């Protein structure tokens, strides 16, 4: 949990601060579709999950809401195929559930369309979404590394999306829970942030997907990403201060950018039924490691260096390797007011504010 505080020289003022697979919206599981199934036994025909997903994708690409198979298909296989579609094709934002019916020789699959949009409406909205994603991509440094591209898109989404607090926890789905809401309408909840991030990174040719589960704030969705052969976790939503409080909403942070498993699991568990869950063991591209702001102990000179490195922006972020060094830093800098000893490194003025995330051992100082 993040806390924001203000400190004045000689006086510190503390101010606390499925789809019949899965269809998550609003940081809470959305409404699940009903299944209608009759007699279903194996026949001489069979479809692999990849083949099923391919036909579903083909139908959605034409804005069709129905597809048939000349075989009795196991429900688990259909569920897996739809999870694959949701995973790899976040641009099909209107997929809001499905029903199946089957006999011994035939299976029918009908898709539920979000808000009952017509084909013409879906076609226009789909074009809007792809254009919005490509407009972001056009701003990404094309000569940058995959890390730099991932960071740019992360920061863009945080800076250009309003967290739809009023939609959080609803038991029905809306545009706020998908990439369209995030990139076109500029307002979303966690699922929308995550699907937008996945869509853009995939279009950049960088492997990225969405996972979901339970967090210490309730049901939640976030991303994984692969950079230089290693997987990392990214939570764009929780790096947007508006997702927690509108106070200090302009202060972008990176507490949850490029986490390993240990950091990620401090605040959440991964739910069952995910399409893919990677093992994230590396810290090589963690934001703070890359920014030379990952500290293994409370070192006043090192914190001064970080302040100096970021004086152009007036905001310094740092992560500590353990709770002990984090607590030592917070107490020393603010309770004992050692922060003022660092005025030679950066102009601190007479008032500054700071925030901290005790779980992630992160300090952010604005000066």
- Residue 241 phi, psi (nearest 5): -55, -25
Kindly state the tokens that stand for 183: 């990139």
Name every residue whose Cβ is closer than 8 Å to that of residue 81 and which is 6 or more positions away in sequence.
49, 52, 53, 56
Are 254 and 293 in contact by the 8 Å Cβ rule? The answer is no
Averaged over 261-281, what is the pLDDT? 97
Task: List 363's β-bridge partners, or say none.
Answer: 318, 356
- Nearest 5°: the CA angle 211, 251, 155 is 45
pLDDT higher than threshold 60 for residue 50: yes
Beta-sheet strand order (sheet of 66-69): 66-69, 107-113, 95-102
The CA distance from 332 to 336, in Å, is: 5
Query: Which residues lie below 8 Å from residue 352, measured CB to CB, with a gap of 6+?
Result: 6, 7, 339, 365, 366, 367
Query: Mean of the pLDDT values across residues 230-257?
Result: 84
Residue with the bigger pLDDT between 315 and 16: it is 315
CA distance 192 to 178: 4
- Output the pLDDT for position 169: 80
DSSP 3-state of 185: coil
What percentage of the chain has pLDDT greater than the value 90? Answer: 81
The 3-state DSSP class for residue 325 equals helix
CB 227 within 8 A of CB 206: yes
Please state whether 324 falls in left (phi above 0), alpha (psi between -120 and 50) or beta.
alpha
Q: Which two tokens stand for residue 69?
A: 């198979």
Tokens of 98: 């499905």
Host H or E run for residue 51: helix 49-61
pLDDT reported for residue 170: 85
Q: Taking the domains of the chain in order of start, what are their residue ranges?
A: 1-17+292-367, 24-117
Q: Coil, strand, or helix at residue 148?
A: helix
Q: What is the mean pLDDT of residues 49-58?
A: 97
> What pLDDT does residue 37 have?
41
Tell me what pLDDT residue 146 has.
98
Q: Which of 10-14, 146-150, 179-183 has the lowest mean pLDDT?
A: 10-14
Gyration radius of the chain's alpha carbons: 23
In the structure encoding, which two tokens stand for residue 26, read together? 């609003």
Please give the pLDDT value at position 46. Answer: 86
CB atoms within 10 A of CB 145: 13
Would you list the DSSP string of 116-160?
Answer: G--HHHHHHHHHHHHHHHHHHHHHS-TTS-HHHHHHHHHHHHHHH
Q: What is the distance between the alpha carbons of residues 339 and 336, in angstroms, rounded to a whole number?
A: 8
Confidence of residue 1 (pLDDT cuts 50, 70, 90): low
Nearest to 61 by CA among 127, 12, 112: 127
Is the domain 24-117 a CATH 3.30.1370 member?
Answer: yes
pLDDT in tens, 275-321: 999 999 999 999 999 999 999 999 999 999 999 999 999 999 999 99
Place of tokens 């697979």: 21
pLDDT exceeds 80 at position 5 = no
Q: Residue 272: CB partners within 8 Å, gap ≥ 6?
A: none
* Residue 156 banded pLDDT, cuts 50, 70, 90: very high
Count CB-CB contacts under 10 A for residue 336: 10
CB 188 within 8 A of CB 219: no
Burial class (CB in 10 A: 0-12, 13-18, 19+), 159: exposed
CA–chain centroid gap for 270, Å, is 13
Q: Are 139 and 132 in contact (CB under 8 A)?
A: no
Q: What is the pTM of this model?
A: 0.89
The angle at the Cα of 170, spanning 165 to 174, to the nearest 5 degrees, equals 85
DSSP state of 115: G
């Amino acid at each position: 949990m993040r806390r924001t505080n203000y400190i004045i020289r000689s006086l510190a003022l503390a101010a606390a601060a499925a789809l019949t697979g899965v269809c998550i919206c609003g940081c809470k599981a959305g409404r699940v579709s009903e299944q209608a199934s009759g007699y279903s036994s194996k026949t001489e025909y069979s479809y692999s999950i990849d083949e099923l997903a391919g036909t579903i994708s083909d139908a959605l690409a034409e804005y069709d809401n129905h597809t048939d198979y000349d075989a009795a298909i196991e429900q688990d296989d259909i569920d897996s195929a739809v999870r694959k579609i949701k995973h790899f094709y976040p641009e099909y934002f209107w997929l809001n559930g499905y029903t199946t019916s089957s006999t011994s020789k035939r299976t029918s699959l009908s898709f539920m369309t979000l808000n009952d949009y017509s084909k013409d409406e879906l076609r226009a909205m789909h074009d809007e979404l792809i254009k919005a994603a490509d407009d972001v991509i056009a701003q990404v440094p094309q000569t940058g590394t995959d890390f730099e591209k991932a960071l740019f898109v992360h920061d863009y989404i945080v800076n250009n999306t309003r967290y739809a607090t009023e939609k959080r926890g609803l038991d029905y789905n809306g545009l706020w829970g998908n990439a369209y809401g995030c990139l076109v309408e500029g307002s979303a909840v966690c699922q929308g942030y995550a699907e937008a991030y996945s869509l853009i990174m995939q279009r950049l040719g960088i492997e990225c997907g969405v996972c979901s589960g339970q967090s210490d704030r309730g049901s939640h969705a976030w991303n994984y990403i692969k950079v230089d052969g290693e997987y990392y976790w990214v939570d764009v939503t929780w790096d947007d201060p508006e997702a927690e409080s509108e106070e200090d909403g302009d202060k972008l942070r990176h507490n949850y950018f490029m986490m390993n498993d240990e950091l990620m699991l401090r605040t959440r568990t991964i739910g069952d039924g995910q399409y893919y869950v990677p093992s994230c063991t590396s810290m090589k591209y963690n934001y703070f490691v890359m920014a030379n702001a990952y500290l293994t102990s409370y070192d006043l000179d090192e914190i001064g260096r970080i302040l100096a490195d970021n004086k152009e922006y007036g905001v310094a972020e740092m992560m500590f390797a353990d709770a002990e060094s984090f607590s030592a830093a917070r107490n020393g800098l603010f309770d004992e007011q050692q922060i003022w000893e660092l005025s030679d490194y950066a102009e601190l003025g007479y008032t500054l504010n700071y925030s901290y995330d005790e779980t992630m051992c992160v300090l952010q100082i604005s000066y």
